[in-house]
Amino acid sequence: MPLAPDYLDAIAGARDPSWGPLVVPWPMPGDLGGLVTFSTFAEWRSFVLALSPRRVIPEVVGRKFERAQKLHALAWLDVDLIKAGELIAMTALELALTDRYAGAETQRRRKVVARKAENEKRKISKSEKWWTEYVSFADLLKYMVERDDLTEEQIPINERCGAPSKVIGRLTGEARPSLSDLRNDSAHGAPFDGFPQAGLLELVRDLIDYAYRDWPLHPNFAHELASNINRLCSVQKF
């Protein structure tokens, strides 16, 4: 469901003016760790809406991302809701990457273990089967860099902010906390995860845009996505 005007108007009228401006951490050119001030809800609303995906993406992914935007918009009333919005944004990103990469990575792993087992003249082990079928969020993020050729120069938030903005290490795990770490901390109740991550919603938007940069509109998306998710869930139960 899109961010409807009446929904946004209701948020605008619910904040006590005595609270003052909304101040959030967000990377800006020359100040990656700076704070950005929004004096009116109109300013904050325009900022959040400008972070919408800029490419055609599947509706189910778009709905999840819009949910994250709604929670960010509600931060006008309670800044803590940005943390909830960040977690939902991560789920939208994982859904997108599962759709775009999980099938290809699974096939690649099957070939790797089959070749290894054949060379060693043995059957594929139980642990190899598990590794073949379980493609984690961290694996999918690495796939973007290692097999889908994502570079720092192709990430719009880097171009907007300029040097020294870099995010690839957050995808591969070479820089900590990685995006996977942040998602896990948010989902599993890390005790010291209270401050919003500067620019996270924007970065997630950029990564989803990249994953779908050449996405063809095909009618089998729902079936293929369900197949990927069901496969992952069945392995996790095991």
Helix, strand, coil percent content, the chain, rounded in steps of 5: 60, 5, 35
What DSSP state is assigned to residue 123? P
pLDDT at 181: 93
Q: Are 171 and 145 in contact (CB under 8 A)?
A: yes
Instruction: Kindly list the domain boundaries of the chain, sorted by start residue.
Output: 5-237
The reported pLDDT for the residue numbered 190 is 65
Q: Which residues of 172-182 are buried (b: 16+ CB within 10 A; e: fewer)?
A: beeeeebbbbb
Structure tokens at 150: 């994502």
- Between CA 62 and CA 72 the distance in angstroms is 15
CA end-to-end span of the chain: 35
Q: What averages of pLDDT result for each successive group of 10 residues across the chain (238 residues)?
A: 68 79 93 92 94 94 96 93 95 97 96 96 95 96 97 95 92 94 84 79 97 74 48 40
Tell me which residue of 105, 99, 69, 64 sits closest to 212, measured CA to CA.
99
For position 234, what pLDDT does the model report?
A: 39
Burial class (CB in 10 A: 0-12, 13-18, 19+), 201: buried
